Structure 1
Amino acid sequence: MARIPVFFSFHYANDVMRVQQIRNIGVLEKNEPLSPNDWEQLKRTGETSVKHWIDENMKHKRCVIVLVGAETAKRPFVRYEIEKAWNDGKGLFGIYIHNLRCPRNSTSAIGQNPFNNFTIENGTKMSSVIHCYNPSTYNEIAQNMESWVNLAIAEAQRR
Structure 2
Amino acid sequence: MAKRVFFSFHYKDVIDFRANVVRNHWLTKSDRESAGFYDASIWEEARKTGSIALKRLINNGVAGTTSTCVLIGTSTYLRPWVRYEILKSYRKGNSLCGAHINGIKGKDKQTKTLGKNPFDTCPWAGS
- What is the TM-score with the length of structure 1 in the denominator? 0.66
Separation of aligned partners in 1, 2:79 and 2:110: 21
Q: Look up the match of 1:6.
A: 5
Q: 1:86 and 2:90 equivalent?
A: yes
Normalized per residue, which structure has more helix?
Answer: 1
- Name 1:74's counterpart in structure 2: 78
**Distance in 1 of aligned mates of 2:9 and 2:56:** 17
In the TM superposition, what are the counterparts of 1:4-153 in structure 2 within 5 Å? 4-12=3-11, 14-16=12-14, 17-25=17-25, 26-31=35-40, 34-35=43-44, 38-42=45-49, 46-104=50-108, 106-120=110-124, 124-125=126-127
Output one character per residue of 1:122-141: Cα deviation in whole Å (capped at 9) or x when no partner.
xx33xxxxxxxxxxxxxxxx
Task: Write the letter of the residue equivalent to 2:5.
Answer: V
Change (3 A) 1:53 1:115: same
Number of aligned positions between the proteins: 116
Opposite residue 70 of structure 1, the aligned amino acid is: T
Post-superposition shift, 1:30?
A: 3.7
Structure 2 unmatched runs, 5+: 26-34
User: Structure 1 residues 81 and 57, CA, compared in 2 at 3 Å: closer, same or farther?
Assistant: same
Deviation at 1:55, TM superposition (A): 0.5
Which residue identity lines up with residue 98 of structure 1 in the other structure? N
The runs of at least 4 aligned residues of structure 1 exceeding 6 Å deviation read none
Give me the whole-angstrom Cα distance separating, in 2, the residues matched to 1:50 and 1:64.
17
RMSD, aligned CA:
1.9
Alpha-carbon distance between aligned partners in 2 of 1:67 and 1:83, rounded to the nearest angstrom: 15
User: Displacement of 1:39 after TM fit?
Assistant: 3.9
Identity %: 31
Q: Which has the higher strand share?
A: 2
Q: Which has the larger radius of gyration?
A: 1
Unpaired runs of 5+ residues, structure 1, are 126-159
Cα distance, 1:66 vs structure 2: 0.4
Report deviation, 1:81.
0.5
